[in-house]
Amino acid sequence: MSTADHSSSESPTGPRRRDPLGRTAYVGARLIDPASGLDAPGGLLTEGEMIADFGPQIREGDLGDDVALVHCRGLCLTPGFVDIRVQLREPGLEHKGTLASAGRAATAGGITSLVCLPNTDPVIDDMSVVEFVARRARLLGLSKVYAYGAATRGLEGQALAEMALLAESGALAFTDGIKAVADALVMARVLAYAATFRLIVIQHPEEPSLAADGVMNAGEMATRLGLTGIPREAEIIQVERDIRLAELTGGRLHIAHLSTADGIEAVRRAKDRGLAITCDTAPPYFALNELAIGDYRTFAKLSPPLRAEDDRQAVVEGLKDGTIDAIASDDAPQDEESKRLPFAEAAFGGIGLETLFAVTLELFHNRHLSLIEALKLINADPAELLGLKAGRLEKQTPADLAIFDPERAWRVDSDALKSTSKNSPFDGRPMQGKVMRTVVDGRTVFTADA
């Protein structure tokens, strides 16, 4: 590994700049590509926006004078992370966050591609809104932003949205976002219509009449705190019903942010039967349990709610055995006025873009998964699930990269996060593993402080 000075070199933690769209070599790295199983010393060469080459042959002494060097000094270089569940607040709720603030937070977390839910204002049930989000993201030049389309018009759970037209405009899949499609007949029609065009339907797994006015997981702790509980069965019943509807219609169903042992087991059985069912979870559901609520800590008020320890352990097992296909941040920015209220009145949701990678890395540090297995859940697997050309190291593909130190220690400080909103359920938590540089289309868009 060379650390020699070079007139055009800089370290991954050096001064932030936009790389020239010429040739840039990242040398002295540990290359990790979960899609192919690569984990070896080497370097990577970009030309313009694309990956030109990578491997042990990319070394400082063998490159021409026209190549800008980035000395990785043994840090890990991997495909940028792909986050498939993000709530953008633009258009409509810019006081909670914007495309720019989400982009800054995402790139600080190594996320080079993200997919937003359709619960913007206006709702993404019209082609013009899909195009607006894509156009704004391109102008900003930070993380690439894709959109889900609404499954029903206005997210009202009644009339079907024009999914085929939305797909033509770039919508990757269809969902009513943070709402479940409650009516079984409507959900069956959504799945059947989507199946006609081979589209994915994503469901929030919570039967709304059971969840009703609940604010945390039902059980002993809710009783002790005097709070109305959301029973685990709200998730389990919804998952089991929708699996049956997917089987009935031949639709392709993806279940978001699973949080219960029985919900995961239902998916496991469905996969064993060969059904086209996939699912994801989010870091709070394998890293926290309901005790994180403490004395009415509203940053830990999430949807689905944090569960008991047995459910948390079941989520870890679901990740280990491959039942759970991906990890998403489930980023849900809320403003201070929405969170600094009595627990029962506070809004649901927590931000997660800047902590997705570090919390996922806990699965490696705690020896539940190998490093490649953990990374695959946040780059190659979610990209493959949605058919994105991302999440893997390949020649002549976009140079979307994350360089990280798996051992770097830091502590989450909500006030220091780049998100406009500060409602992190991990506020104050020590972390091990930090993104040091993020590259999108060959340009450095984030560097960490040394």
Q: Could you list the active site residues?
A: 330
User: Which residues have a Cβ under 8 Å from the Cβ of 256 and sit 6 or more positions away?
Assistant: 85, 175, 202, 203, 204, 205, 279, 280, 328, 330
Residues sharing a CB contact under 8 Å with residue 313, sequence separation 6 or more, in sequence order: none
Read out DSSP for 335-367?
Answer: -HHHHSS-TTTSPP-B--TTTHHHHHHHHHHTT
C-alpha to C-alpha distance for 145 and 296, rounded to whole angstroms: 34
306-341 in b/e burial notation, b at 16+ Cβ within 10 A?
bbbeebbebbbbbbeeebbbbbbbbbbbbbeebbee
Q: Which of 286, 436, 279, 278 is nearest to 369 (CA)?
A: 286
- Kind of pairing between the strands at 200-203 and 252-255: parallel
Put the strands of the sheet holding 111-116 in their side by side order.
81-86, 111-116, 144-147
Of residues 284, 329, 429, the one with CA closest to residue 106: 329
Q: How far apart are CA 89 and CA 261, in angstroms?
A: 31
CA atoms within 13 A on the CB side of 263: 34
- How many Å separate Cα 70 from the centre of its chain? 27
